[in-house]
Amino acid sequence: MFRGILIGIWMTAVTAGSSYGAVYWMTHYNGVDPAAAVIDGLDYEKTRAINVPMIANGRLQGYVVAQFVFTADAASLARLSVPPHPFVVDEAFRLLYEDRSLDFEHLERYDLETLKTQIREKVNARMNGDLIRDVLVEEFNYFSKDDVVSN
């Protein structure tokens, strides 16, 4: 009888101790590197899709349709009086429209890394700070003029 009571007390103590230890470990030692926790303060913002006309030989050939997502510090975004979305769209449009190396019929060969870097750098320069952390490509397609007219 005494042995049964001791086993009951022992099981209660082990259960309580392991529960406490698990909760303490989850709240204090969850394995997250503090340097990697920086991503928690970032917002992912999606721009509207842009249609960039592609003109070759003096004629409209079609449109490049692109949509971007950018990451920025949430606190910095909240402090801004003007959202950065129009600046991202404007810089993307300008870069795509002015790029003579863009072979719109073979977009798979286009250097998207350079485009993303240029968008980030130019928007940060226009916003007078290091607001945009990264630019991601959501959509990047080409539609010929004939495709647009037939639809």
Give the pLDDT score at 35: 52
Grade residue 106 by pLDDT with cuts at 50, 70 and 90: confident
User: In the predicted model, what is the mean pLDDT of the chain?
Assistant: 83
State the architecture of 36-150 in CATH terms: 2-Layer Sandwich (3.30)
Q: What is the pLDDT of residues 46-73, one digit of tens each?
A: 999 999 998 888 888 889 899 999 999 8
Grade residue 151 by pLDDT with cuts at 50, 70 and 90: low
Q: Which residue has the higher pLDDT, 92 or 39?
A: 92
Give the pLDDT score at 11: 84
Q: How far is CA 81 from the centre of its chain?
A: 21
Instruction: Identify each DSSP E strand in the chain by its residue range.
Output: 42-46, 50-56, 59-73, 132-144
Domain boundaries, the chain: 1-31, 36-150
97-107 average pLDDT score: 78
Distance CA 90, CA 88 (A): 5
